[in-house]
Structure 1
Amino acid sequence: MPNLEEWIPNRKAKQILAEIRKRGIVSKFDLLDLSGLTSSTLTRMLEELTSTGWIEESGLGESSGGRRPLLYRLKHDRGYVLGLDVSRATTRLVLCDLHLEKIDSASWQMTERMTPDLLLQEVVQATRRMTAKHALEPDKILGMGIGAVGPVDRAKGMMLNPLYFPAEGWSQLPIGPKLERELGVPVMLDNGANTALLAEYWAGSQQYRHLLYVRAGVGLRSAMMSNGQLVYGAVDMEGSVGHMIIQTDGPPHPERPHVFGCLESFVSIPVLEKQAAVRLKQGRRSVLTEWVDQPDEVGFPQLLKALSADDRLVTELFTQAATYFGIGLSNLLNILHPEKVILGGPLITTNELFYQISTQVALKNTLYYPAYPVTFTRGKLSDDALAVGAAAMVIDRLTL
């Protein structure tokens, strides 16, 4: 099983491949300027990458007075990569080509019976079905990337102690080594927020130098990119945004009762479900009482349905959560100053109210705004972002 770094042994060729991938289609003249190589060296690198199947010619560019330059692009079917998103509600597997176009996919609901052993067995079987279905030779699969709920140990390929999984066994799980042994390909692990940001970067945000991604759902997850590179700390930072203290005398964290008033105590799906149940027990009127027998049975689907029906109680709960989320976002903006903020997760993608209120509150409380023109957007890839970004990690490693 070759290391990903060994597929292209020449360092200069890797640099050229990275430039071609970043720009999609690029001329030889532009590559001369970007690479700093001599014309003869660049020609040799392009010939090497073409002969080994990593790039292909893509017609001729516009002439600037002389001969029209050759255009090059990454050869999409030189290899294929797998991306696995291990999340609390749903796990997704995608098969992508080198342009990150999705070729096939599979998904599983993360129920109480979905233990790590069962899920990994399903993933291995689905991978084999996909490769057989598309008639892919084993050496066409370059590797698998995993975007998992943090915290994770990237070096060991291990999920450490994630919260809220319905089934047992997800702590201290060496998911990378286990899948590497079963599949016989290199496997890389990172937290899901990082892989989601990586996917959104390759989906059309390469022009931004500083990107922030925040995902709001069962918990809060975030990632930061600077100059096209993910930002890492001494420990996994994915869940740190949820532990931002915004009210020192606030409620305890749902899973860490010694921590009071952190953002995740006000903003998450479990918190909204719990608050709705409490209000119903207090006698508040709501259409929710027509859909559940007991207040504690209220789930996120019922909350969304009530929100669409303009239910006063549920609208109030979502408005409050969005306001707190906006305050948390403004703190991040005032510290990190990203050019673009990409928001994802069920709380963002399933309703307009939460997105609009949270972004308005964030901007209102941001230092230097409007002189500091930060851009907010929803993620382009929605539910596939974490898995596609995990696949992108594998392609990135080719050029390291």
Structure 2
Amino acid sequence: MAKQFKGMPSVKKAVYDRIAAQRDISKAEIMEQFQLTSSSLTRLLDELSREGWIMESGFGQSTGGRRPILYQINPGHRYIFGLDISRIYSVLGLYDMEMRPLELVRWNMDEQMTPQRLTQHVGKKVRELLERHRIPADHVLGLGVGAVGPLSREQGRILNPLYFAASGWNDVPLRQWLEEVTSLPVIVENGANTALIGEHWMVRSEHIRHMLYVHVGTGLRSAMLSNGQIVHGAVDMEGSIGQMIIQTDGPRLHGTGNYGALEAFASVQAVEQQVRARSKMNREHWGGGSLAIKPEAINFATIVQALESGNEYVREIFAQSAAYLGIGLANLINVLHPEQIILGGVMISAGDLFYNTAISVAEQNIYYSGSYHPEFSRGILQETAVSTGAAVMVWNEYEL
């Protein structure tokens, strides 16, 4: 993306970032962070204003002299697309420079949604959104993508993900294809990382530097922010948390992965498997009411309906699954020591039972060193965290 963003000093972007982080900020407040003379900062602010990146937002309180001019970024100066590619559905959002969505488009990831069809669909929707909102293409900074992994961030490729309904998702040159259909620069990152980037953006004024994100859905995904930066390993295996062993010689999910891995206890597939198995063994308890269907027809949607209607057997399975997740969370927290833990995914949104049980078990197994008390949250953005975080990635990479 550097070809579009070269030619201007990085201090200019740093000043712009500071203004974005605190709406309605004065020149004096900006100077507290930068080793700039008053005249140098004035020139930068004038340049940012003249180019349309920032604008005056009024006057602050007087401290004895003239009231200071306050600045804020101009949200409509440029726009960014954020794309969430997940196994169940995908979301494309058009965002302004304050990361407010002008419009979100969502579609199911069914058996027909191959990578080729998805890229063509995204290209079509990008054009439609720009036309509908009357935004020139050259006013868009780029397209950020948060996708199911594993993937190669450097090459912008999805490698060999599991559980997509459609075929053809192995070794997909996603960045290349999306750049061809949108004519925009594209950044690709795994979905857990982009979700965390999005949630961190929403609390950036609180100066939280260490955050953990765990997504509990068809699989388990996690991301870690340390000292304000996403932690990347030697390879991108976003589902690795699911392979954390929490019961020696325990079961494997679908006969693959580690024995006793967390995903075999705390995932949509694990819960579906357990409910179907118990349904077959206990027909007198499962043959009527909220689960009056054949065991093979039971899916997560019918299980959630049974939970909501008060089925005690489903409730027990959910509580057990949440307890195992709590152990996995405690293991991560005891190693990483985040300030805040955000939990997302359909298991978390299925009801308070799973969320509250997982947190309770995690807190009971966290090693507290006096003042260490991490906070738990479902996040602010929740279902739009990935698409928002993907747009924030582009925002972060753009050099003024």
TM-score bracket, shorter-length normalisation: over 0.9
> Given that residues 224 and 231 in structure 2 are in contact (C-alpha distance below 8 angstroms), is that contact kept between their aligned partners in structure 1?
yes
Tell me whether 1:254 sits opposite 2:254 in the alignment: yes
Measured in 2, the distance between the counterparts of 1:265 and 1:205 equals 35
Measured in 2, the distance between the counterparts of 1:31 and 1:19 equals 7
Query: Which segment drifts farther, 288-297 or 346-355?
Result: 288-297
Measured in 1, the distance between the counterparts of 2:155 and 2:53 equals 29
Tell me whether 1:88 sits opposite 2:87 in the alignment: yes
Query: Which segment drifts farther, 334-343 or 367-376?
Result: 367-376
The residue type equivalent to 2:250 in the other structure is G
> Given that residues 17 and 399 in structure 1 are in contact (C-alpha distance below 8 angstroms), is that contact kept between their aligned partners in structure 2?
no
5 Å-filtered alignment, 1:187-202, equals 187-202=186-201
Q: CA deviation at 1:254?
A: 3.2
Name the TM-score, length of structure 1 as normaliser. 0.96
Q: CA deviation at 1:390?
A: 0.6
5 Å-filtered alignment, 1:1-400, equals 3-6=3-6, 9-206=8-205, 207-254=207-254, 256-257=256-257, 259-286=258-285, 289-290=288-289, 291=291, 293-368=293-368, 371-399=371-399
CA 1:250–1:112: 2 relative to 1, 3 Å: same
Q: CA deviation at 1:135?
A: 0.7
**Superposed CA offset, 1:73-100 (max 9, x none):** 1110111100100000001100000000
Secondary structure of 1:84's aligned partner? strand
CA 1:212–1:288: 2 relative to 1, 3 Å: farther
Query: Which segment drifts farther, 80-89 or 280-289?
Result: 280-289
> Given that residues 159 and 175 in structure 1 are in contact (C-alpha distance below 8 angstroms), is that contact kept between their aligned partners in structure 2?
yes
**Superposed CA offset, 1:125-161 (max 9, x none):** 1111110001111111110000001111111111111
The residue type equivalent to 1:133 in the other structure is R
> Given that residues 223 and 237 in structure 1 are in contact (C-alpha distance below 8 angstroms), is that contact kept between their aligned partners in structure 2?
no
Q: What is the aligned length?
A: 398
Name the TM-score, length of structure 2 as normaliser. 0.96
The residue type equivalent to 1:242 in the other structure is G
**Superposed CA offset, 1:330-362 (max 9, x none):** 011100000111111111112100000000000
> Given that residues 286 and 292 in structure 2 are in contact (C-alpha distance below 8 angstroms), is that contact kept between their aligned partners in structure 1?
no
CA 1:120–1:59: 2 relative to 1, 3 Å: same
> Given that residues 288 and 302 in structure 1 are in contact (C-alpha distance below 8 angstroms), is that contact kept between their aligned partners in structure 2?
no
The residue type equivalent to 2:343 in the other structure is L
Q: CA deviation at 1:69?
A: 1.6
Q: CA deviation at 1:205?
A: 4.4
**Superposed CA offset, 1:43-74 (max 9, x none):** 11111111111111111112222222211111
Measured in 1, the distance between the counterparts of 2:269 and 2:378 equals 22
Identity percentage over the alignment?
A: 43
Secondary structure of 2:55's aligned partner? strand
Q: CA deviation at 1:21?
A: 1.6
CA 1:371–1:284: 2 relative to 1, 3 Å: farther
Measured in 2, the distance between the counterparts of 1:288 and 1:45 equals 71
Misfit runs of 4+, over 6 Å: none
Secondary structure of 1:177's aligned partner? helix
> Given that residues 151 and 237 in structure 2 are in contact (C-alpha distance below 8 angstroms), is that contact kept between their aligned partners in structure 1?
no
Measured in 2, the distance between the counterparts of 1:111 and 1:292 equals 26
The residue type equivalent to 1:109 in the other structure is N
Measured in 1, the distance between the counterparts of 2:394 and 2:34 equals 23
CA 1:323–1:394: 2 relative to 1, 3 Å: same
User: How large is the RMSD of aligned CA atoms in angstroms?
Assistant: 1.7
The residue type equivalent to 1:281 in the other structure is K
Secondary structure of 2:214's aligned partner? strand
**Superposed CA offset, 1:226-276 (max 9, x none):** 22211111111421211111112111133624x211111111101111111
> Given that residues 214 and 223 in structure 2 are in contact (C-alpha distance below 8 angstroms), is that contact kept between their aligned partners in structure 1?
yes
The residue type equivalent to 1:135 in the other structure is R
Measured in 1, the distance between the counterparts of 2:299 and 2:48 equals 53
**Superposed CA offset, 1:182-238 (max 9, x none):** 111100000001111111111124421111111111111111112221111111142
CA 1:288–1:177: 2 relative to 1, 3 Å: farther
Measured in 2, the distance between the counterparts of 1:122 and 1:177 equals 15
> Given that residues 159 and 172 in structure 2 are in contact (C-alpha distance below 8 angstroms), is that contact kept between their aligned partners in structure 1?
yes
Unaligned ranges ≥5, structure 1: none
CA 1:61–1:287: 2 relative to 1, 3 Å: farther
Secondary structure of 2:211's aligned partner? strand
Secondary structure of 1:144's aligned partner? strand
> Given that residues 3 and 186 in structure 1 are in contact (C-alpha distance below 8 angstroms), is that contact kept between their aligned partners in structure 2?
no
Q: CA deviation at 1:378?
A: 0.7
